[in-house]
Chains A and B, each alone.
Chain A
Amino acid sequence: MAAASDDGIAGAKSGLSLVTNVTVLLLVILWLIPTVGLLVSSFRDRDAIGGSGWWRAFTATSQNVAISTEGEFTQTPDGWTLTGNVFGPDGSGEVSAFGGRRSEPNAFAPGETGELVRGRTLTIEADGDFVYVDPDAEEPSRNPTLYVATEVPPTFGTGNYETILFSNGMDRAFINTLTVTIPATIIPILVAAFAAYALAWMDFPFRGTIIAIIVGLLVVPLQLALVPMLKFHNTIGIGQSFYGIWFAHTGFGLPLAIYLLRNYMVGLPRDIIESAKVDGATDFQVFTRIVLPLSFPALASFAIFQFLWTWNDLLIAKVFLPSSAESWVMTVKIADDLLGSRGGDWGILAAAAFVSIAVPLLVFFTMQRYLVRGLLAGSVK
């Protein structure tokens, strides 16, 4: 019985469990492919991206090159002979095929002696050593060009990241995003915490109505606020500025903050709060000394939400920040600038995307516990 209840759907049959494992593995791979593709591409240069798909980035790719030989011909019994290495005196590599004409770089396998036009012969070893023999009586007037297919080892570099960060304004956009995010995450927490405490532990008329209104405000489309609030910001003189976007994010983040924090605070043990009150603590003291420290997990959940939301936001940044390049945040920079001007430059785009998602991913993987807890408090209850 214990074995059967071990897995409700599979009945603990190993065959089914294998199917489960394989299905989940496939789903995970499917989910990761797009991100991995972009990550790999962000470390490849433009030629490599255009030359082969990222899924072949880790294997050597075949490349056809034309090599102008150097050096002097020497007279041998077979004719005028030129020897050397196609990779130069210091280079190395591997020849997979060679030919005597541009149109046939794969005519001969390495080590073969290839018959070229007018009785000339060419031998190229896999390591690049070649012997070129011209049976003519006259010394050849110019050196021949050899056509070789070589295996190019995979190359990765951080060139895209250097380009995007140091010459493309992405560093500025990164700072701007950070500038928007920090106040927009911290300020709503405090405002919401006091309100949530009042809604959870204080008794007053219309409490239920206010909670209902806040639940309703959770789903109000932000699109409604854009035109009236921008007009309001212009009227009070802050216009399109960082102040405007901080206020806007604070206002828009409050319903979720109050809702999450109230749900959490309501669940705190009644005894602690009441015994503190009996001992003469005021509501202000109960809140700052007891409820606030105990609510840390809920505060952390909301902080992560608000952080991810403000960091990733495009809509509010487009409307409430000036549209000039020096106040672009990263999402605006990518969507309005890079996708247009660098549309075909995938390496640059990929690097920009990873610069912008690196911090959220870091926060996500280190604080996933709180994020999940916040999601559950906001939805399951």
Chain B
Amino acid sequence: MSPLFQGVLTVVIGVGGCIGYFWTSNLVLDKVLFPPRGPNAGRNINRANAIRPWLFLLPAMLALALYLVYPVFGSFWRSLFNRAGTDFVGAGNYVALMGDGEFRGALFNNFLWVLFVPAAATFLGLLVAQLTDRLKWGNIAKSLIFMPMAISFVGASLIWKFVYAVDPDIGIINAIRDTFGMAPVDPLQVGFWNNFFLMVILVWVQTGFAMVILSAALRGIPEETIEAAIIDGASPLQIFFRIKIPQIMGTIVVVWTTITILVLKVFDIVYAMTGGNFGTQILPSYMMEYMFRDDGRATAVAFVIMIIVLPVMVWNIVQANKEVR
């Protein structure tokens, strides 16, 4: 059976199964378990309405529990065992990680990524959002800068591999160096700075995301505040930094943290560009090196990533709770 046909069949069975489940479970609830008739009609309606939300939630909750909640504990538990998963080694995998120079390098590089990528992408996104705000062709410009968002990280890596190519007849960086009479270099092998050349790719992708959200936030600023500032004689720069920025600060924080989380998870770029060589390893790509070879070590790395993400997670939950109330 061809996989594509299998896929279509799965869609039919999946969608049909979902509709069937929701429809049947509601029917059973209303017609069989608690029919709104007879002497207990009122009590039955209340009981049915108390159960119904859980029927609606059940499939989603099961999937979430299985694929996202259980793995947090499952991975932690697995990280306490050795490579084969047979012997309990306690914190052994974590101790081994700390002793591994490559892991410490990956941690340091990840730290650089977290510092640089969200800052650069948010700054550039804000710049473009402000500059295109009242431009006639602003929407076209935004659309073109937003475009890399649709491209896979693998595709983006390939696009930039071409830019960084050593041959001055292929790579535009070395072509520019060539016209100034400089010898060609491989940007991906320049110690330390090669990390930033990889980060540029993610900044290139994520600037569009920051721009779209910040652009909407800028549009949402009440006109009166800006007009009042103009009447008071504020310069354009003052208006931007003293009036606009404070009003969209909340959105800037959201954009910043969203990109930070992404940075901690993206392994594709390093994997496709350098394979973690030349001192460019980061935690997600380091983990993939051990995936399939040493699950104990791999889950330990995954849990380290989880711990780094945790503060953002807590902050998100606190924000969401404020909204719901």
Taking beta carbons and an 8 Å cutoff, which residues of A are in contact with B? 1, 4-11, 16, 20-21, 23-25, 27-28, 31-35, 37-38, 41, 49-55, 175-176, 178-180, 182-183, 186-187, 190-192, 194-195, 197-199, 202-204, 207-208, 210-229, 231-232, 242-243, 246-248, 250-252, 254-255, 258, 282-284, 287, 308, 311-315, 318-319, 327, 331, 334-335, 339, 346, 349-350, 352-353, 356-357, 360-361, 363-365, 368, 371-372, 375-376, 379-381
Taking beta carbons and an 8 Å cutoff, which residues of B are in contact with A? 3-4, 6-8, 10-11, 14-15, 18-19, 22-23, 26, 30, 49-50, 52-54, 56-57, 59-61, 63-64, 66-72, 74-75, 78, 124, 127-128, 130-135, 138, 141, 143-155, 157-163, 165, 167-170, 172, 175, 204, 207, 209, 212-213, 216-217, 220, 223, 226-227, 230, 236-237, 239-240, 244, 251, 254-255, 258, 261, 264-265, 267-268, 271-272, 284, 287-288, 291, 295, 298-299, 301-303, 305-306, 309, 312-314, 316-317, 319-321, 323-325
Q: Which of B15, B52, B72, B319 is the one whose CB lies under 8 Å from A224?
A: B72
B60 touches A192 (CB 8 A): yes
B154 touches A335 (CB 8 A): yes
Inter-chain CA distance A345–B212, complex, in Å, is: 36
Contact status of A34 and B321, CB under 8 A, knowing A28-B141, A229-B71, A331-B154: no
* B3: chain A residues within 8 A (beta carbon): 175-176, 179, 242, 327
Q: Which residue of B lies closest to A209 (CB)?
A: B321
Inter-chain CA distance A208–B325, complex, in Å, is: 8
Q: Which residue of B lies closest to A39 (CB)?
A: B159
* A8: chain B residues within 8 A (beta carbon): 133, 226, 230, 236, 239-240, 244
B128 touches A27 (CB 8 A): yes
* B323: chain A residues within 8 A (beta carbon): 381
Inter-chain CA distance A176–B235, complex, in Å, is: 57
A183 touches B7 (CB 8 A): yes
Inter-chain CA distance A247–B7, complex, in Å, is: 12
| Interface CB pairs A-B, < 8 A, 10 | A28-B141, A31-B207, A33-B172, A186-B11, A213-B64, A220-B306, A229-B66, A319-B291, A346-B162, A372-B212
Shortest distance from the beta carbon of B156 to any chain A beta carbon, whole Å = 8
**Residue among A231, A247, A319, A331 with max Cβ neighbours from chain B (10 Å):** A331
Shortest distance from the beta carbon of A46 to any chain B beta carbon, whole Å = 11
Q: Which residue of B lies closest to A180 (CB)?
A: B7
Contact status of A224 and B57, CB under 8 A, knowing A211-B324, A375-B213: no
Q: Which residue of A lies closest to B251 (CB)?
A: A380
Inter-chain CA distance A232–B74, complex, in Å, is: 10
B163 touches A251 (CB 8 A): no
A interface SS class: helix
Q: Which residue of B lies closest to A16 (CB)?
A: B236
* A226: chain B residues within 8 A (beta carbon): 291, 298, 302
Q: Which residue of A lies closest to B51 (CB)?
A: A204
* A186: chain B residues within 8 A (beta carbon): 11, 14-15
The 5 closest A-B pairs by CB, nearest first: A251-B67, A312-B152, A228-B74, A364-B150, A195-B60
Contact status of A219 and B309, CB under 8 A, knowing A183-B7, A191-B60: yes
Shortest distance from the beta carbon of A207 to any chain B beta carbon, whole Å = 8
Q: Which residue of A lies closest to B208 (CB)?
A: A31
B interface SS class: helix
B153 touches A312 (CB 8 A): yes
Q: Which residue of B lies closest to A10 (CB)?
A: B236
* B26: chain A residues within 8 A (beta carbon): 282, 284
* B306: chain A residues within 8 A (beta carbon): 220-221, 224
A375 touches B302 (CB 8 A): no
Q: Which of A208, A228, A364 is the one whose CB lies under 8 Å from B147?
A: A364
B324 touches A208 (CB 8 A): yes
B18 touches A191 (CB 8 A): yes
Inter-chain CA distance A197–B57, complex, in Å, is: 9
* A20: chain B residues within 8 A (beta carbon): 131, 135
Inter-chain CA distance A32–B244, complex, in Å, is: 29
Q: Which of A54, A224, A254, A312 is the one whose CB lies under 8 Å from B63?
A: A254
* A219: chain B residues within 8 A (beta carbon): 261, 309, 312-313, 316
B52 touches A283 (CB 8 A): yes
Shortest distance from the beta carbon of B247 to any chain A beta carbon, whole Å = 12
Q: Which residue of B lies closest to A359 (CB)?
A: B150
B298 touches A242 (CB 8 A): no
Inter-chain CA distance A106–B269, complex, in Å, is: 46
Contact status of A5 and B152, CB under 8 A, knowing A215-B317, A380-B216: no
Contact status of A368 and B146, CB under 8 A, knowing A34-B160, A217-B64: yes
* B56: chain A residues within 8 A (beta carbon): 194-195, 197-198, 202, 283, 287
Shortest distance from the beta carbon of A375 to any chain B beta carbon, whole Å = 6
A27 touches B145 (CB 8 A): yes
A38 touches B66 (CB 8 A): no
* B10: chain A residues within 8 A (beta carbon): 183, 187, 242-243, 246
Inter-chain CA distance A7–B136, complex, in Å, is: 12
* A223: chain B residues within 8 A (beta carbon): 265, 284, 287, 301-302, 305
* B265: chain A residues within 8 A (beta carbon): 221-223
* B314: chain A residues within 8 A (beta carbon): 216
Inter-chain CA distance A311–B152, complex, in Å, is: 8
Q: Which residue of A lies closest to B265 (CB)?
A: A221
Q: Which of A6, A38, A364 is the one whose CB lies under 8 Å from B162?
A: A38
* B75: chain A residues within 8 A (beta carbon): 224-225, 227-228
* B240: chain A residues within 8 A (beta carbon): 8-9
B216 touches A314 (CB 8 A): no
Inter-chain CA distance A211–B71, complex, in Å, is: 19
Shortest distance from the beta carbon of B309 to any chain A beta carbon, whole Å = 6
B152 touches A251 (CB 8 A): no
